[in-house]
Amino acid sequence: MSDTPEEPQERRDFLARAAFWTTAGALGFAALGVARMPKPGVLPGQSAAVKIGPPGEYPVSAEPVRVPGQNLFVLHDADGFAAVAAVCTHLGCIVSVSPDGFECPCHGSRFARDGHVVRGPAPSPLVWFELSLAPDGQIVVDTKKPVPVGTKFQLS
Amino acid sequence: MTQPIETQEREAGPPVPADGTPPSSAKRDSFLGNLRRLWHNLRAAIFRTGKPTSDRARAQKVFGNFLLHVHSTRVHRHSLRFTTTLGLGIAALASFILATVTGVLLMIYYTPSTELAYQSVKDIHYVVPTGRFIRNLHRWSAHIMVIAVILHAVRVFLTASYKKPREFNWLIGLGLLVVTLGLSFTGYLLPWDQLAYWAATIGSNIASSPRELTDALGITSWFDPGGFFRQLLLGADEVGQSALTRFYLLHIMVLPLLLCWLIGVHFWRIRKDGGLARPSDEQLRAEGKLPPAEENNNGNGATFPRGPLKTYGLMAVVRGRTPVVGRGPENTVPAWPRAFRAEMAVGMIVVAVCLVLAFFSDAPLKEQANSLVPENPAKAPWYFLGIQELVSYSAFMGGVFLPGLVVLGLALIPFLDREKEPGGVWFSGARGRREFLASLAFGTVVVVLLEVITIRFGWLRSWFPEIPQLWIILVNPGTVLAVLFAGWSQLTLRRTGSTRMAAIALFTTILVGFVILTYVATVHRGPNWDFYWSKSQWPVH
């Protein structure tokens, strides 16, 4: 318990510092490596491409039709088919059809028929997806491939 | 440093001395004799001495016992006054212990799989003996813990107990608050019912809401912190088995361990920072909160007897004040029994309240999680509803930026308000009380006004439908409130010239905002997040 400061011992101090930073560095890099683990390499979940039945199941209609078992709406008018996500772009709740478009139950966002935000906190329109026809005659919605709002597909 | 050297340390113990001297030497090593003395010898081996019968022996016991030594042996009288702490820290600890015990019991039956989780919780609720009661207790102790931790933080702030040298412990406490909320949120998902599923969906989407900003700026493709947080939390694109596994792991392992470690540091630092913050003895005496100086040493004669019980040797010469010798620290009382009794009382009250609540009020369990039908309204637990109200203006601002700003602001308080003050006085006196009340009024008016405007007239998008999203992120009721509160605090700083008063102004307005928004979201928000005066007006669907 002496109040006089210790005399610097340069070589020893250097070696001690080197040892300390080597250990700290090794542990730091190890931690970085471990931190890679929780970020999944492959995302589990269902296939992004969904078959929703033949085009004949969705007759021309002014109302959007909810696809059974999927969070999707199908629009079918004279211009063709379109699939619109039922997932609110705000915080992921499922929108339902309202008299003039869609409404979200969680935070009150309202969307127009084409998915544009009319009211509420949603930051962007409901997402439209690419459609194609599978060899077995069913419509395939690729939920990994968004298309610009208003893109219609001719399926026959 | 002068160190007491222990000599002659024998207290009057139990009838059988600690070293187990047998009554008769003939039986000294006989097997039966040893067997008969087993209980005494075991007790002596564990506790060394018998039941302490003097303050001095009790102090020694507190000092030497692993579980008790987190206490100092003597406690200042001011620290024991109920109005100093309101017992909130101990209440938080007691509810945490209760939640831990009931949580371990629930783990006997709970199964963390998307197929079985809901059924196992249903089993716990309807089939397992006492299962429903234990689950209710777990839920209520968690609620009480959140309330206690929040109120404890409010108490510490209002009594200025965060000031030097307690800044670091304020940060630890803030960490405890965040971990407590994390524990509640991760626990909310586990029953895998509709409430759980949609709260977790909303929560994880809040985590990914920085995308709202990066999208508005058009940089998401190469800078996407939102997507990263979301994947880290869910381990997938949607709330599913990986999310349940991760939440379960966080809830039963990671966060409790972190919490225990932080609690340990928190308690340790209370001791090392000099106990609870309190004004000087002179000031307390002037206010009549301490007995006059002469009376005060009464009883110290018995506690610290003069005599050859200790000898002092000079070990080294150090700077500082001379240690007090032969006289107890003034205005303190032995921790055993005074402080222990107070802590036990708070603990018992907490347990009693939880028992009563758990008996009369069941934890909710909705239908099994269904990713196709959202709960309407989908509400988070009550302490997140203030945030949910903010989120209904802008997900990123309300869910990430403003809460982050509040936490950062709270962390900075002890470093921005450096005015010297011993702490331990509510509102730091009459001036602080005035500022507190003024801020209370200002905060209430501003928050209610903004809520009324938003509910009656909507916000920017209702008035200018084509407005770019960036405007809504930047200018919404939440950010307006933040600017108003910051301005009010600056005004207070100018007016009073005191950083402490400015801190009181800021803290109080934020607190009012939190309380009012939580209230509105809890009571007045119904389906589609519309405003209703009461639940009876909700449309049937």
Among A69, A92, A124, whose Cβ lies nearest the Cβ of B469?
A: A124
What pLDDT, on the 0 to 100 scale, is given for residue A41?
Answer: 81
The DSSP bridge pattern shows strands A72-77 and A61-66 to be: antiparallel
| pLDDT band (50, 70, 90) for residue B151 | very high
**Per-residue pLDDT tens digits for B157-194:** 999 999 988 999 999 999 999 999 999 999 999 999 99
ipTM, 2 decimals? 0.86
Question: Cβ contact (<8 Å) for A93 and B201?
Answer: yes
Among A117, A118, A121, whose Cβ lies nearest the Cβ of B394?
A: A121
Using the Cβ of B238 and the Cβ atoms of chain A, whether some distance falls under 8 Å is answered with yes
Q: Please indicate whether residue B541 or residue A7 has the higher confidence score (pLDDT).
A: A7
For residue B438, pLDDT over 90 is answered with: yes
| pLDDT band (50, 70, 90) for residue B1 | very low
Mean pLDDT of B408-426: 89
Secondary structure (DSSP) of A104-120: -TTT--EEETTS-EEES
For residue B11, pLDDT over 70 is answered with: no
> In angstroms, what CA-CA distances link B436 with B111, B162, B504, B506?
48, 17, 6, 10
Residues of chain A with Cβ-Cβ distance to B394 below 8 Å are 121, 123
**Per-residue pLDDT tens digits for B334-367:** 888 888 999 999 999 999 999 999 999 998 888 8
Q: What percent of chain A has pLDDT over 70?
A: 97
Residues of chain B with Cβ-Cβ distance to A91 below 8 Å are 201-202, 205-206, 209, 391, 395
**Per-residue pLDDT tens digits for B185-195:** 999 999 999 98
Q: Please indicate whether residue B389 or residue A1 has the higher confidence score (pLDDT).
A: B389
Question: CB atoms < 10 A from the CB of B337, how many?
Answer: 12
Among B198, B237, B394, whose Cβ lies nearest the Cβ of A43?
A: B237
For residue B395, pLDDT over 70 is answered with: yes
Question: Cβ contact (<8 Å) for B237 and A104?
Answer: no
For residue B306, pLDDT over 60 is answered with: no
Secondary structure (DSSP) of B428-486: GSHHHHHHHHHHHHHHHHHHHHHHHHHHHH--HHHH-TT--HHHHHHSSHHHHHHHHHH
Among A3, A91, A118, whose Cβ lies nearest the Cβ of B205?
A: A91
CA distance B146 to B388: 17
pTM: 0.86
Residue of A nearest to B377 (CA): A106
Q: What DSSP character marks residue B254?
A: I
Secondary structure (DSSP) of A2-14: --SPPPP-HHHHH
Closest chain B C-alpha to A146 CA, distance in angstroms: 14
Residues of chain A with Cβ-Cβ distance to B246 below 8 Å are 38
Using the Cβ of B314 and the Cβ atoms of chain A, whether some distance falls under 8 Å is answered with no
What pLDDT, on the 0 to 100 scale, is given for residue B6?
Answer: 44
Residues of chain A with Cβ-Cβ distance to B205 below 8 Å are 90-92
For residue B303, pLDDT over 80 is answered with: no
Residues of chain B with Cβ-Cβ distance to A105 below 8 Å are 374-378, 527-529
Q: What is the token pair recorded at A26?
A: 């090794």
Closest chain A C-alpha to B227 CA, distance in angstroms: 11
Among B216, B236, B469, whose Cβ lies nearest the Cβ of A43?
A: B236
Q: Which of residues 168-207 of B touch A (CB under 8 A)?
A: 198, 201-202, 204-206
Q: Which amino acid does the sequence have at A21? A: W
What pLDDT, on the 0 to 100 scale, is given for residue A61?
Answer: 83
Q: Which of A34, A70, A107, A117 to mutate to test the interface with B (most CBs of B within 10 A)?
A: A107
What pLDDT, on the 0 to 100 scale, is given for residue B182?
Answer: 94
**Per-residue pLDDT tens digits for B524-534:** 988 878 888 88
| pLDDT band (50, 70, 90) for residue B117 | very high
How far is C-alpha B29 from the geometric centre of its chain's CA atoms?
54
How crowded is the C-beta side of B328, counted as CA atoms within 13 Å?
A: 22
Residues of chain B with Cβ-Cβ distance to A69 below 8 Å are 372
Question: Cβ contact (<8 Å) for A38 and B316?
Answer: no
Closest chain A C-alpha to B345 CA, distance in angstroms: 43
The DSSP bridge pattern shows strands A96-98 and A101-103 to be: antiparallel
What pLDDT, on the 0 to 100 scale, is given for residue B296?
Answer: 46
| H or E element, residue B500 | helix B499-523
- B364-368: long-range contacts, CB 8 A cutoff, minimum separation 24: B364/B195, B365/B121, B365/B122, B365/B125, B365/B191, B365/B193, B366/B193, B366/B194, B366/B195, B367/B193, B367/B194, B368/B118, B368/B192, B368/B193, B368/B194
Closest chain B C-alpha to A115 CA, distance in angstroms: 14
**Per-residue pLDDT tens digits for B77-112:** 888 888 888 999 999 999 999 999 999 999 999 999
Using the Cβ of B371 and the Cβ atoms of chain A, whether some distance falls under 8 Å is answered with yes
A to B CB pairs, distance under 8 Å: 103
Among A92, A105, A124, whose Cβ lies nearest the Cβ of B527?
A: A105
Residues of chain A with Cβ-Cβ distance to B236 below 8 Å are 40, 43-45
Closest chain A C-alpha to B376 CA, distance in angstroms: 6
Q: What percent of chain B has pLDDT over 70?
A: 89
Among B318, B371, B374, whose Cβ lies nearest the Cβ of A105?
A: B374
Residues of chain B with Cβ-Cβ distance to A116 below 8 Å are none
What pLDDT, on the 0 to 100 scale, is given for residue B47?
Answer: 83
Residues of chain A with Cβ-Cβ distance to B393 below 8 Å are 121
Mean pLDDT of A88-101: 87
Using the Cβ of B231 and the Cβ atoms of chain A, whether some distance falls under 8 Å is answered with yes
Residues of chain B with Cβ-Cβ distance to A85 below 8 Å are none
Residues of chain B with Cβ-Cβ distance to A39 below 8 Å are 228, 231-232
Strand positions, DSSP E, B263-421: 310-314, 332-334
Q: Which of B213, B528, B531 to mutate to test the interface with A (most CBs of A within 10 A)?
A: B528
Instruction: Give me the sign of the Cα torsion angle B128, B132, B134, B138.
Output: positive
Q: Calculate the average pLDDT of chain A.
A: 86
Question: CB atoms < 10 A from the CB of B397, how many?
Answer: 26
What pLDDT, on the 0 to 100 scale, is given for residue B278?
Answer: 85
| Residue B37: strand, helix, or coil | coil
Closest chain B C-alpha to A70 CA, distance in angstroms: 7
Q: What are phi and psi of B178, to 5 degrees?
A: -65, -45
CA distance B286 to B366: 58
- Between helix B55-64 and helix B335-360 the angle, nearest 10°, is 60
| pLDDT band (50, 70, 90) for residue B311 | low
What pLDDT, on the 0 to 100 scale, is given for residue B26?
Answer: 53
Closest chain A C-alpha to B370 CA, distance in angstroms: 10
Q: Which of residues 432-491 of B touch A (CB under 8 A)?
A: 458, 461-462, 465, 469, 472-473
Mean pLDDT of B404-425: 90
Q: What is the token pair recorded at B392?
A: 């209904």
For residue B300, pLDDT over 50 is answered with: no
Of B17-21, B236-240, B279-283, which range is least confident? B17-21
Question: Cβ contact (<8 Å) for B206 and A69?
Answer: no
Q: Calculate the average pLDDT of chain B.
A: 85
For residue B301, pLDDT over 50 is answered with: no
Q: Which amino acid does the sequence have at A132? A: S
Residues of chain B with Cβ-Cβ distance to A45 below 8 Å are 236-238, 240
What pLDDT, on the 0 to 100 scale, is given for residue B227?
Answer: 84
Mean pLDDT of B376-392: 85
Nearest of A137, A115, A136 to residue A126 by alpha carbon: A115
Q: Please indicate whether residue B338 or residue B139 has the higher confidence score (pLDDT).
A: B139
**Per-residue pLDDT tens digits for B16-43:** 444 555 555 555 678 888 899 999 999 8
Using the Cβ of B114 and the Cβ atoms of chain A, whether some distance falls under 8 Å is answered with no
Closest chain A C-alpha to B2 CA, distance in angstroms: 12
Question: Cβ contact (<8 Å) for A44 and B472?
Answer: no
Q: Which of residues 242-301 of B touch A (CB under 8 A)?
A: 242, 246
CA distance A127 to B395: 18
Mean pLDDT of A13-18: 92
For residue B381, pLDDT over 60 is answered with: yes
